[in-house]
Amino acid sequence: MYRIALRAIRAHLVRFALSVLAVTLGVAFVAGTFALRTMMSSTFTGIVSSSMPGDAYVRGAEPAAGYSTTGTTGETRTTVPASLAGTIAQVTGVDRAFADISGPIVLVGADGTAVQSTRSPSFGMALHPGDSTVTLVAGRAPSGPHEIALESATLASSGLSVGDRTTAVVAGQIRDVQVTGEVSLGAPMAGATIVFLDVETASAAYAPDGMVSTITVYATDGVGEADLVAHLAPVLDQETAAGAEALTGGAMRAEARTDIEGQLGFVQTFMLAFAAISLFVGAFIISNTFSMSVRQRMREFALLRAMGASPAQVFASILIQAAVVGLAGSALGIAAGLGLVSLLRVGFETVGMDLSGSIPLDASTVVISLLIGTVVSVVAAALPARRAALTAPVEAMREATATEKSLRGRSIAGSVLVAAGAGSLVTALVAPQSHGSTTLGLGAIGLVVGVLLLAPALARHTLGVLASVFVVGVRPLGRLARGNVIRHPRRTANTAGALMIGMALVGASAVLAASATASTQSIVDDGWTSDFSVQSATGAVPIGAVADVRALSSVDSVDVLSYGPAVAAGPGETASVANAVMVVGLPADAFGRSVTIDTVGGSLDTLANGQIAVKKDTATDRGWQLGDEIIFTSRSGSTPARIGAIVDTQLIGSPIIASDELFAAVVEPAGTTVEDLLVTAAPGTDPAVLRADLVRAAAPYVVLSVLDAEDFAAALAEQVNQILVVLYALLGLSIAIAVLGIVNTLALSVIERTREIGLMRAVGLGRLQLAGIITIESVLTAMFGTIVGVALGVAVAAVMPTVFTTTGLTTLAIPWAQLAGMVALAAAVGVLAALWPASRAARLPVLDAVASD
């Protein structure tokens, strides 16, 4: 039996080729994701090892109210005095100790723009004399506020060379600097921009209060990390009342690695979700291939059965074929995945993000990839195999065309699921407050699975309507094509179903993106009243820019919007880091001048009296009432403030809004970020003049941009579109596989219909006409999948604004033109998919077709 199974694959290599390709693409995605993760992991591990070379680290003992928007800093802790380093250096077993002084910097490259590769961080750090972990490769160490040294990769990407003069924005101030040296850290830094300053300059810029986050300690020869920490602990207890703790270099690096692994893990899960979609879609192709192959080989199976093969043996022989397809596809997929990652690495390198080492291929990646590909194939082939095994020999021997099984059961199940799914969506729409997102999710799943089940029945009717254009327009080809797609509704539905899934996701993404953009637009339109906003590409506006903008004569008011974390405890709550929230600080008189915010209760006028405004959903979540007293706790003590207003706004993302005086009292300066300058024009000033002034003031800071309300909305829309492009690229693979599925089904059905095609050719059908029929079939299948998929996606996405209003998705916008474009694209894709099968069919010699048995 096994020999028969393997021979059958060899005999019909072409028929299985596309199935193998489908597995290959899906597995390539999986293997590539794993390999990419391993590579990223090893790169970042390298960075951790070379940037954290200390034998021990001293840091604040307590976690602090921290909030990392980028998630790159992990846990935030209290700080320690930099001067502690001097004390520590005297401790037994300590060779050297340096306070780690670093912070954001903007470096202007040779081309006059900020040096910044992709989205990697840009920071300045103190270059301690005697720090053996950094090596001066060229030039000399910087000295004084106007000298810098650059990390090797930074130097290369900046286009500067040692000795060049340029500009840097350090601690919010523009500074002319000279590059005095090139420094190596000994490992690729994944595109981070690293600028070295001398210790005094760095301290003045990044540790004005003398506090730093960590102190790096190096042991004398022969002292182990654990021993070093044991030596440090008593000294720290003695020296710092606020509490500092020492931990081994190994422990510190492990913590950093855990942080990074966690984030990479998230990325990996995200990517694997798309790999899963691709494999799921690939399973449709495999299933279709085996259905069709089994259908054609029914007589062969009957012969085997007649000779005494058991149903189980027939079943097993088909599953073996599936396993071979799966294994072959997976093996190719692993190779393709590695190739993909190699390409990606080259791509990263060209944008200045060096990744370390060779492309990793560990045993677990290979095993998991092989297993996934094989299991998907075998599972996909199981149903057709069962059908082959259970068909009675006599029945199969008969010439009669195998009749399609009734669709009734499947259709009923599908209808029930669709009804339940639609019901859930309506429920989510009507009562979004009670578990709206769960209801929505379940509804979406029900709807998708239901439609997949219902698809064959749907195909029969929808395709008839869809095809009528062709039936009327292209006689008699349209009618013939319609007959062919409706003849095997399951097959057509499976083929289209693969496309349907991808298209549903694309459709939903398109609607969400359009809605997000429209929501942003409406939020900005409603709440934005200032003439211009000055924002930074790095997220933080340099302090120096604030003064520069204020100094402009064309400016009437400049409202600085800052944010930072604070521990806020309401009645009955304890002041702990767990209760930390983001607080936004704005001048009390900014409301009505620069921004307009709807109040649900109380008044924003109370902000001037040291009260705060709380966002409606935060108040609901924490159980806070108007008039409640909130205690803010910081290192400098605790500050009480009453809730003077409950507000409902999407314009400000943070839950608590305070006047800038209160803000300064409750948020530590180190944690403060200036996000935005809201500028209003002086009376009688032309906005164009103001804009020109602002642009001139902002230009030296390189990273600042001047936006009016329209620009701002456009910038946000641009961000949404960037995310959309990534999503489309990831979904593109599943759509490509689905298109392969169309090619596959058409090619196999051409083989299956050889005699019919011969007959039609014999009665005078031309080659082009034949190709036309197959093209129409392809277009019909592609359009069916796309229309149903897009309809599904839009239906689900249309509910989202209602469910997720509180997260800022307020307006539903359906990009009809884009959706229509997708359907048109589907038609084009259909034509493309038909090229190969159609030309294959057209080349079939008529006589072979007529004479084939």
Region near other proteins per CB under 8 A, out of 54-62, 630-638, 716-724, 753-761: 753-761
Strand-pair partners of 56:
217, 248
**Beta-carbon count within 10 A of 637 CB:** 9
Closest to other proteins by CB, 295 vs 487, is 487
Planar angle of CA 666, 671, 677, nearest 5 degrees = 90
401 is a contact residue toward other proteins (CB under 8 A): yes
257 is a contact residue toward other proteins (CB under 8 A): no
Helix axes 249-296, 489-527, angle to 10 degrees: 140
Cis ω before 640 (30° cut-off from 0): no
265 is a contact residue toward other proteins (CB under 8 A): no
Q: Which residue, 185, 155, 156, 165, is CA-closest to 48?
A: 185
763 is a contact residue toward other proteins (CB under 8 A): yes
761 is a contact residue toward other proteins (CB under 8 A): yes
Region near other proteins per CB under 8 A, out of 12-20, 530-538, 630-638, 842-850: 842-850
Least distance between other proteins and beta carbon 495 (Å): 17
486 is a contact residue toward other proteins (CB under 8 A): yes
Region near other proteins per CB under 8 A, out of 166-174, 484-492, 526-534, 668-676: 484-492
Binding mask 508-547 for other proteins (x = CB under 8 A): ----------------------------------------
Q: Which residues contact 713 (CB under 8 A, 6 or more apart)?
A: 517, 520, 521, 524, 525
Figure out which of the listed residues 295, 487, 550, 642 binds other proteins, where binding follows CB under 8 A. Answer: 487
Distance in angstroms (rounded) separating the CA atoms of residues 195 and 123: 6
Contacts with other proteins: how many residues (CB under 8 A)? 26
Least distance between other proteins and beta carbon 775 (Å): 16
Least distance between other proteins and beta carbon 757 (Å): 10
Contact 758, 832 (CB under 8 A): no
Closest to other proteins by CB, 9 vs 459, is 459
Q: Which residue, 370, 369, 681, is CA-closest to 553?
A: 681
Closest to other proteins by CB, 462 vs 769, is 769
Least distance between other proteins and beta carbon 764 (Å): 2
Figure out which of the listed residues 163, 347, 483, 627 binds other proteins, where binding follows CB under 8 A. Answer: 483
According to DSSP, the β-strands at 173-184 and 147-151 are: parallel
5-44 binders of other proteins (CB under 8 A): none
Closest to other proteins by CB, 140 vs 405, is 405
Helix (H, G, I), strand (E, B) or coil at 578: helix
Distance in angstroms (rounded) separating the CA atoms of residues 100 and 346: 33
Closest to other proteins by CB, 442 vs 846, is 846
- What is the token pair recorded at 98? 């340096």
Region near other proteins per CB under 8 A, out of 73-81, 571-579, 659-667, 845-853: 845-853
386 is a contact residue toward other proteins (CB under 8 A): no
840 is a contact residue toward other proteins (CB under 8 A): no
Closest to other proteins by CB, 702 vs 842, is 842
Closest to other proteins by CB, 140 vs 475, is 475
**Beta-carbon count within 10 A of 199 CB:** 17
Closest to other proteins by CB, 396 vs 792, is 396
Figure out which of the listed residues 383, 472, 762, 828 binds other proteins, where binding follows CB under 8 A. Answer: 762
825 is a contact residue toward other proteins (CB under 8 A): no
Cα atoms in the Cβ-side hemisphere of radius 13 Å centred on 148: 32
Helix axes 249-296, 709-752, angle to 10 degrees: 40
847 is a contact residue toward other proteins (CB under 8 A): yes
Contact 648, 661 (CB under 8 A): no
Strand-pair partners of 634:
637
Here the contacts of 204-207 (C-beta below 8 Å, separation 24 or greater) are 204/145, 204/171, 205/103, 205/124, 205/170, 205/171, 206/101, 206/102, 206/103, 206/124, 206/126, 206/171, 207/82, 207/99, 207/101
Contact 335, 26 (CB under 8 A): no
Figure out which of the listed residues 767, 811, 825, 832 binds other proteins, where binding follows CB under 8 A. Answer: 767
Residue entry with tokens 């509804």 = 443
Least distance between other proteins and beta carbon 843 (Å): 10
Region near other proteins per CB under 8 A, out of 586-594, 701-709, 734-742, 766-774: 766-774
136 is a contact residue toward other proteins (CB under 8 A): no
766 is a contact residue toward other proteins (CB under 8 A): yes
- What is the token pair recorded at 246? 């020492």
Least distance between other proteins and beta carbon 479 (Å): 7
Closest to other proteins by CB, 165 vs 299, is 299
Closest to other proteins by CB, 224 vs 464, is 464
Q: Which residues contact 652 (CB under 8 A, 6 or more apart)?
A: 584, 595, 597, 615
769 is a contact residue toward other proteins (CB under 8 A): yes
Figure out which of the listed residues 760, 774, 792, 822 binds other proteins, where binding follows CB under 8 A. Answer: 760
Distance in angstroms (rounded) separating the CA atoms of residues 274 and 281: 11
Residues in contact with other proteins by CB under 8 A are 399, 401, 475-476, 479-480, 482-484, 486-487, 755-756, 759-767, 769, 846-847, 850
